[in-house]
Amino acid sequence: MKAKMAFRAVALFAATALAASGLTAGALAPAQAATKSTVTLLSAGNITSLNSDTSDGNSVYNATVESLTRMGFSYYDDKTKLVMNTRFGTMKIVKNEKDDFRIQYTVRPGQTWSDGTPITAHDLLLSHIITSNQFSIDAGLGDPSSKTQKPSFDSVGYSSTYGNNVVGDPVVSSDGMSITTRFKKQLPDWQLLAPGVFPVHALALMADGRTTLQPVNVGVTAKQTFLTAFKKKNTAFLKRMGAIWTKDYNVSKVDRNTNPLLLVSNGGFIVQSYTAGSSMTLVRNPRYSSGPAMATRNPIRTVVIKVITDNTAAVQALRNGDIDIYYNSLPTNNDRAALSAMPNVTLDTNVGGNYSFIHLRVSNAAQERDTYSGPFAGNSQRAKDLRRAFMLAMPREQIVEVLIKPLNPKASPLDTQFAFQGTPEYNTITRASGVSEFTRGTQAQRTAQALALVQKHFPNASATNAPVKISFVHANVALRNQIGALVAAEAKKAGFDVTSFASANLFGNRDNLSARHDASMHGFQLTSLAQSNATGIFKSDGANNAWGWNNPELDKILLRLQNDVLTPSQITKLRSDADKIIMSEYWGLPLYANPTITAFNKALKNVKTAPIGNNITWNFFEWSY
Amino acid sequence: MFAYVLRRLGMMLVVIFGASFLAYNLQAYSSNPLAALGESQEENKDFLMAQMIRNLQLDVPPPIRYFSWLRGVIAGLWGDFDLGMTRDGLPVLEVLGMAVPVTIRLVITATFLAIILGIAVGMITAIRQYSRFDYVVTFISFLLFSLPIFWVAVLLKEYMAIQFNDFLVAPEIPPTAIGVAAASFGLVVAGLLGGNRARFFSIFFGATAFAVAVLIYVSETSWFLDPTLGVFGVGFLALCSAAIVVQLITGLDSRKGLFAGLVTAILVTILYHPLQALMPEDAGAMSVLAVFAVTVTVGVVVGSLVSNVDRKIYARVGGLTALLSTFPIILDRFMQEFAAYMVSDAVNGRPVPTLGQGNDLLTPEQQSNFWISGLDATMHLILPTIALTLVSFAGYVRFSRGSLLEVLNMDYIRTARAKGLSERTVIVRHGMRNAMLPLTTILVNDFAGVLGGAIITESVFAWQGMGQLFNTALRTYDLNLFMGVFVITATLTVAANFVADLLYGVVDPRIRIRK
C-alpha cells in the first residue's frame, strides 16, 4: 500500500518533468530595460504624511515628497534665487495703495491634475482656508489659536503674515483661472505669500465619500461644489473636508487599497507605494505640465525614497548603489573622507541656508525669570568694552581653517547675518557695517587689542591671568565642543576665563537660554529669503531674540524691513544700517555658513543642491542618466 | 494550580500598571517637544508653540495626562482599545501593527539560527572539552560576544555587500583567496569532526581539497552570476543531511537507519526535476509547502518501509532527512531566478543591499514572480541576519557548553556509561536532553525580547520595526508611541517570565508548582 503510494508519487512527477524544464527555461527574460531610469533618494527621517501643511505632517521629509507631487508659483534654485514658475502661473500687483494692496494670481490654462481634471484657480483657494484665521472663525471651523479645540483644518500656516493681513476672501475671476487677494497693507514679501496649489476636487470628492478616481466631468462638478461651499462658508461640508485634509493624508502605507484621490498630483511624479519607515516609490506623472519640461534623454521614470535614519548606513548605501543621492546638512570630516574616496560618486560641497554664530547676552530677554547681571550686562562703557574684547578675541579664522575648511574648501568666516557670501549684497553690507574691526589684522593683533580693552577695567588681566568669568553655552555635539575649546583658548589670552556648557538639549531646557550664561553659540536655518529675514533675531520683541537686546533705532529699521515695500538697493541700505548698529552695540558675531554635502551617483546628471527649500528635489525635471 | 495562575496574573497587572506609570512620567518629564521649535525661524513661531501645547496637551501635568492615556488602554476591556495617536497623526495601534511583523521577520531567523547553531556548537565543544576546537570556538565566541553590532554591521556591509557586489562585475576568485578560504574551511571541518592527529590531518586535507575544487569550479564558471545547485549539488547536500539526521537519531552504525536516510536522500534527489513543476513563476508560499509535503511524505514512507520494528524511529529519520534535503531544492529554485533578478532596474547588478526591508519595485504587489520577490526579501535579510546571529550566537555557545558539561559530570551519566550504553546514546539521550532544561528559561525570555526589537540593528539596516519605533519615539518625544512600544515589550517580558516558570514545571519533573 505504502510502496504503491510512493511509486505513484514518483510516477506523477516523472511525467511532469519535461513540462517543468520547459517552463523554467522560458522564465529568465530581464525584469526591466537595461538603462537605469530609477533615482533613489535618501530621507533622513520617516515620511508620515502626504500633506506637510498639517501640524501632524509638518516635516521636511514630507515636504520632499510634496516637492515631487506639487508644482506651484515659485521655487528656490541652487543660486538661492526665487524662480517664478510661469509654466504653472503668474502673479502681479493689481492695486498698490497703502491700505489696499491687491495681488492677482493666474493659473496657466491647459494644465491638468494627474487624474485629468483641469487645474484652475479653485485649486488656489484651499491655501486661504488653511492660512486665514478669520476664514476659519467665520466659517465655523474653529478659532485656530484656541487653547482647547483644534480647528477643522489643523494647519501650521495660521497667524502668519498672510493670515494677519488678508482682507476678506480671495475673489475668483469669471473665467475661473485667476484669483485676486486683498491685503490691508503693502507687503514686501508678497511673492512669497503666493497660495499653494491643492487638488480641491479630490478633497471635495472624498468629502462626498468617493474612494476612486472619477471622470473629468465629475471632478469639474466637484470643483464647483467646493467653490460654492467656500463662498457660502458651508460649515458642514468644509468640516468634512477639514477632517480629511487633517487626518487622511497621514499614511503609514500606500498600496492599491489606498484611496487614489489622496495621490492626485500635478508634479512630475505620483506616489505609487509606501511602507512606513522603509521606502516610497513615485512613478512619473504622464500629465505633468505644471513645471519645466522633463529631460528628454534618459529621463527619470521612477523615484524611490528610502528612509535611512543612520548616517553611516546612508554613506555605505550610496557606495553600494542602494541610494543614488546622499545629502547631509550636518556633515562630519569622516563623511567627507568616506564620500570623496568613493569611485562612482560625485561630491558637491555647498552651503545651506544655515549659519552659526556666537551671541552675547546684554540683559534679560522677554518673559525671563532671572535678571542678567554678568560682565556683559547693560550698555555701560565697561560692558561694551568687555563685549567688544570678547568679539575681538573670537578666533573665527582659526575655527573656519581648522574645522570648516576640511568640509568645505571654499569656506571663509561669515561677516553678516543679513546676506549670504558670494552675493553682491554681502559685500556692500560688510564694507559698511564696521565688521572690519573684527577682520582686520591678525588674530594675535586683535587678541592683543582685546586684552588692552579688558585691562582698562581689570588692570591685573594678562595672557596668563584671566579675571573675567564667562559662561558659554552651546549644543553638545563634537563640532560645537571643538569650537568651544578654540574660543576658550583664544579668549583666555585676552583675560577671559571661559567655561563651556555643552547642552544635549540646547533649546529644550529653558535654563540654557536664561540669564545664567553670558554667551551662546547656535545655528539658524533660513527657510526663505524674505526681506524680513533676521529681524526676529535682532528686534527687541523678536521671537528669536533670546539675549535681551534692545535698540530703538534698530527696531525702527527692522520694522521698515518687515513692513515696507522696498527696492533691492533700499533693502541693502537698511540691512547695512542695521548691521552697523549691531556691530556698534557689540552683540556678537556670525561664524560661518554651515557646509552641506551632496554626493550622488556619477551616472546621474544635473543634480544640484539648493541651499534653501527642498535642497535636492527642486530640479527633478533636469535629472537624467 | 489555578489559584497560582490567577495570583500570578494579578501580579502581572500590578507590575505593568506601575511600570507604565513610571515610564510615562519619566519620559514626559525628561523631554520637551517644544525644543525643536526653539530654533525655528518661522514668523508664526508663537502660534506653532501654542498649537503644539494644545495638540499634545502639554499644559496638563504628566501624572494626570497618564490617566487619559490609560483610559484608552482600559477601554480595551470593551473592545475599544486605543493607544492614542503618534505625533505624526497616525494611530499608535496601526503603527505597531505594521512594525511587529517587520521585527519578527528581521529577528526570528537570526534568533533561530543563533539558537540552533549556538546550542549545536556549544554542545560539541562540551563533548570535546579542552580540544583545539574547543579553544578556537571559545576564543571566537568571546570575540563575537564583545563586538558592538553597529560595527559588525559596518564591516559586513563593506565586505559582504559593497566589496562582494564589486567582485560580481568579474567574479573570478584569485588563487590566494581560494587557498586561504579552502584552508579555513578544512580547519573548521576537521575541528568539528575531531579525532587524533592523523585523522585530523586527513580530514583537513580532504576538506581543503574539496573546497579548492568547488571554488575553482565557482570561479571558472562565473557561478555567482547565475548560481545553481543542480542535481549534483542537491544530491550532495541531501546526503550530508542524511548523515547528520542518522547520526543524531539512530547513530551511523544502525544499518537500517543508514539505509532509511540514504534511500530518502537519493529519492529526493531523483525528485529534483519533477518537483520543478510544482514551483511555477507565479507560485505562492503554498507551492513551497506542497514541495515539502511531497518530499516529507516520501521520506516517512521510505522510513516506515525499512523495518517492521521501531517504525516510528526510522520514519522520523526518513522524514527529517527529506525535510532537510528539500531546502537545497527550494534554494535552487530561487537561484534559477537570480540572473533575472540581477539585471532588474531595482538591483542593477548589485544584488546584496546594505540596508532596507525590500525593494519597493519588487514587492509581491509590483512583481508577480514569487521567486523574484522572495529572492529580494531574502537578499535584504542576509546582512542583518548574519549580524544578529554572530552577536547572539556566542551567548548560546557558552551557555549550552556549560550546561552540557555540568550534566556530563552527573552520576547518572556515569551510570549510563557503566551499564554499557554507547557514547552516542549517553550523550544524545541522557546528556543533551537534560542539558536543555536550564536553556528553556533563557529561550523563552529571548523570544519575548525579540518583539522589543533590535534597536541598533534596525537603525543601521533601516528596518522599521519595534526597535526603530522606540528609537523614533525617544528622539521625537513621541509619548504615545513610546508607551505603545513599552506596553507590548513590558507585557511580553512579564508574560514570558510567567510562561517560563510554568514551562519549567512541565519539562522538569523535579519542579512542581504548588498551590
Higher per-residue pLDDT: B446 or B270: B270
Binary contact (B38, A509; C-beta < 8 A): no
Please tell me the distance in Å from B75's CA to the nearest CA on chain A.
22
Q: What share of chain A is helix, strand, coil (3-state, %, to 5)?
A: 35, 20, 45
Chain A residues within an 8 Å CB radius of B167: none
pLDDT digits (tens, 9 = 90+) for B492-513: 888 888 888 887 777 776 766 6
Question: Torsion angle of alpha carbons A77, A82, A84, A90, nearest 10°?
Answer: 150
Nearest to B426 by CA among B411, B439, B440: B411
Strand partners, A525: A354
For residue A255, which residues of chain B lie inside 8 Å, CB to CB?
365
Beta strands in A65-111 (DSSP E): 74-76, 82-84, 89-97, 100-107
pLDDT digits (tens, 9 = 90+) for A146-167: 888 899 999 998 988 898 899 9
* Closest chain B C-alpha to A472 CA, distance in angstroms: 18
Nearest to A225 by CA among A243, A244, A195, A200: A200
> Distance between terminal CA atoms of chain A?
65
Question: So what's the pLDDT on residue A515?
Answer: 63
Burial B22-36 (b: 16+ CB within 10 A, else e): ebbeebbeebbbbbe
Task: Decide if A509 touches B, using CB distance below 8 A.
Answer: yes
Q: Which three cell numbers stand for residue B234?
A: 542537491
List the grid coordinates of A581: 548698529
A506 interfaces chain B, CB cutoff of 8 Å:
yes
Contact B32 A275 (CB under 8 A): no
pLDDT in tens, B97-110: 999 888 888 888 88
B276–A23 C-beta distance less than 8 A: yes
Min mean pLDDT across A384-388, A586-590, B248-252 is at: B248-252
Give the minimum alpha-carbon distance from A21 to chain B in angstroms, rounded to a whole number: 7
pLDDT at B349: 85
Of A20, A148, A322, the CB nearest to B277: A20
Q: How confident is the model at residue A367 (pLDDT cuts 50, 70, 90)?
A: low
Nearest CA in chain B to A318: B354
Which one has a higher pLDDT value, A374 or A29? A374
Which of A:42-61 have CB within 8 Å of B? 46, 48-49, 54-57
Cβ contact A280–B305 (<8 Å)? no
Please tell me if residue A544 touches chain B, with a CB cutoff of 8 Å. Answer: yes
Interface test with A, best of B464, B469, B471, B475 (most A CBs within 10 A): B464
A324 touching B (Cβ < 8 Å): no
pLDDT of residue B514: 58
pLDDT of residue B453: 64
pLDDT class of B253 with cuts at 50, 70, 90: confident
Chain A residues inside the 8 Å CB shell of B314: none
Closest chain B residue to A308, measured at CA: B462
Q: How many CB pairs under 8 A join A and B?
A: 275
Cβ A279–B360 below 8 Å, yes or no?
Answer: yes
Count CB neighbours of A383 within 10 A: 19
Q: Which residues of B touch A14 (CB under 8 A)?
A: 274
Distance from CA of A292 to the nearest CA of B (A): 26
CB contact under 8 A, A273 and B366: yes
| pLDDT tens for each residue of B389-431 | 888 888 889 899 999 999 999 999 999 999 988 888 888 888 8
Distance from CA of B442 to the nearest CA of A (A): 31
Nearest Cβ partner for A31 among B54, B372, B472: B372
Residues from chain A contacting residue B303 (CB–CB below 8 Å): none
Per residue in A189-199, pLDDT (tens digit) is 888 889 999 99
| pLDDT tier for residue A510 given thresholds of 50, 70 and 90 | low
Cβ within 8 Å, pair B35-A507: yes
Can you tell me the distance from the alpha carbon of B135 to that of B150, in angstroms, rounded to the nearest whole number?
27
Closest CA to B161 of B325, B370, B380: B380
Query: What is the C-alpha separation between B444 and A382, in angstroms, rounded?
Result: 70
Q: What percent of chain B has pLDDT over 90?
A: 30
pLDDT (tens digit per residue) in A303-313? 999 999 889 99
State residue A474 phi and psi, 5-degree precision. Answer: -160, 170
* Cβ-contact B323, B294 below 8 angstroms: no
Contacts of residue B94 in chain A, CB cutoff 8 Å? 252
CA-CA distance, B278 to B276, in Å (whole number)? 5
Which residue of B lies nearest to A159 if distances are taken between CA atoms?
B44
Cβ of residue A340 closer than 8 Å to a chain B Cβ: no
Do the chains contact at A147 and B54, CB–CB below 8 Å? yes
Rounded average pLDDT over A486-502: 90
Asked whether residue A371 carries a pLDDT value surpassing 60, the answer given is yes
**Residues β-bridged to residue A500:** A472
**Least confident stretch, A456-465, A524-533, B247-256:** A524-533
Q: By CA distance, what is A322's nearest residue in B? A: B353
DSSP for residue A355: E
C-alpha cell at A557: 529699521
Strands A302-307 vs A38-43: parallel, antiparallel or unpaired:
parallel
The torsion angle over the Cα atoms of residues A317, A321, A325 and A327, rounded to 10 degrees, is 20
User: Across chain B, what does the average pLDDT equal?
Assistant: 87
Residues 6+ apart with CB under 8 A from B197: none
- With 90 as the cut, is the pLDDT of residue A609 above it? no
Q: Given a cut of 80, is residue A516 above it in pLDDT?
A: no
Q: Which of A160, A276, A281 sits opposite B464 (nearest CB)?
A: A276
Of A6, A250, A509, the CB nearest to B89: A250
- Shortest CA gap B42–chain A (Å): 8
Query: Nearest CA of chain A to the CA of B269: how many Å?
Result: 12
Model's pTM, two decimal places?
A: 0.86
* Stretch B26-36: mean pLDDT: 82
Mutation pick from A62, A257, A507, A511 vs chain B, by most beta carbons of B within 10 Å, is A507
- Chain B residues with CB under 8 Å of A53 CB are none
Question: In this predicted model, which residue has the larger pLDDT, A277 or A353?
Answer: A277
Q: Which helix (H) or strand (E) holds B379?
A: helix B370-408
- pLDDT at position B264 is 93
Helix (H) or strand (E) holding A475: strand A468-475
DSSP class of residue B75 equals: G
Q: How far apart are CA A262 and CA A206, in angstroms?
A: 8
| Whole-number percent of chain A with pLDDT over 90 | 47
**Residue written as cell 565557482?**
B218
Q: What pLDDT is recorded for position B340?
A: 86
> Is B481 buried (19+), middle (13-18) or exposed (0-12) by CB count in 10 A?
buried
For residue A9, the model assigns a pLDDT of: 40
Q: Of the segments A220-229, B78-87, B169-178, which one has the largest average pLDDT value?
A: A220-229
Rounded to 5°, angle at Cα A59 from A58 and A65 = 105
At A26, is the pLDDT very low, low, confident or very high (cuts 50, 70, 90)? Answer: very low
Mean pLDDT of A350-364: 84
3-class DSSP string for B119-177: HHHHHHHHHCCCCHHHHHHHHHHHHHHCCCHHHHHHHHHHHHHHHHHHHCCCCCCCHHH
Q: Which of A201, A23, A16 is nearest to A118 (CA)?
A: A201
Spell out a b/e string for A140-179, using b for 16 or more CB atoms within 10 Å of the CB, else e: ebbebbeeeebbbbbbbbbbbbbbbbbeebbebeeebbbb
What does the pLDDT look like over B261-292, one tens digit per residue? Answer: 999 999 999 999 988 888 888 777 888 899 99
CA distances from B488 to B55, B86, B256 (A): 25, 16, 50
Q: How far apart are CA B237 and CA B185, in angstroms?
A: 16
Residue ranges of the alpha helices (H) in B31-91? 35-38, 45-55, 62-74
Residue A507 has pLDDT above 90, yes or no: no
Do residue A321 and residue B348 have CB atoms under 8 angstroms apart?
yes
Say yes or no for a CB contact (<8 Å) between B361 and A19.
no
Minimal Cα distance from B343: which residue of A? A30
Residues A429-441 pLDDT 10s: 888 888 888 988 8
CA atoms within 13 A on the CB side of B122: 28
Alpha carbon separation from B376 to A9, A144, A496 (Å, rounded): 32, 47, 61
Percent of chain B beyond pLDDT 70? 97
- Chain B residues in contact with A307 (beta carbon < 8 A): 462, 464
Secondary structure class of A356 (helix, strand, coil) = strand
CA–CA dist A304, B357 (Å, integer): 13
What is the reported pLDDT for A365? 67
Identify the closest residue of chain B to A12 by CA–CA distance.
B274
With CB atoms and an 8 Å threshold, state whether B55 touches A154: yes
Answer whether A152's CB lies under 8 Å from A141's CB.
yes
Q: Flag if B273 and A307 touch (Cβ within 8 Å).
A: no
Q: Mean per-residue pLDDT for B23-51?
A: 82
Q: Which of the listed ranges A230-239, A521-530, A543-552, B251-260 does the model predict with the highest average pLDDT?
A: A230-239
Pick from B41, B350, B366: CB nearest A544: B41
pLDDT(B334) > 70: yes
| List of residues 6+ apart from A173 with CB closer than 8 A | A121, A179, A180
Confidence of residue A11 (pLDDT cuts 50, 70, 90): very low
CA distance B122 to chain A (A): 33
Strands A468-475 and A496-503: parallel
Per-residue confidence at A7, pLDDT binned at 50, 70, 90?
very low
Burial class (CB in 10 A: 0-12, 13-18, 19+), A369: exposed
Q: What is the mean pLDDT of chain A?
A: 86
| Residues in B touching A46 (Cβ below 8 Å) | 88, 464, 472
What is the predicted pLDDT for the residue at A514?
A: 63
Nearest to B354 among A20, A320, A506 (CB): A320
Which pLDDT score is estimated for A3?
A: 41
Cβ <8 Å between A54 and B472: no
Name every chain A residue with its beta carbon within 8 A of the beta carbon of B95.
252, 276
Q: In A, which residues are within 8 Å of B387 by CB distance?
A: none
pLDDT level of residue A132 (50, 70, 90 thresholds): very high
Residue A176 near residue A122, CB atoms below 8 Å: yes
Grid cell listed for B492: 511580553
- Asked whether B49 and B34 are in contact (CB, 8 A), the reply is yes
Q: Would you call B89 and A3 a contact, using CB atoms and an 8 Å cutoff?
A: no
Mean pLDDT of A562-576: 87
pLDDT band per the 50, 70, 90 thresholds, residue A14: very low
* Interval B458-473: pLDDT, tens: 889 999 888 889 988 9
A13 contacts B275? CB cut-off 8 A? yes
pLDDT computed for residue A611 by the predictor:
81
Give me the pLDDT at residue A114, please: 94
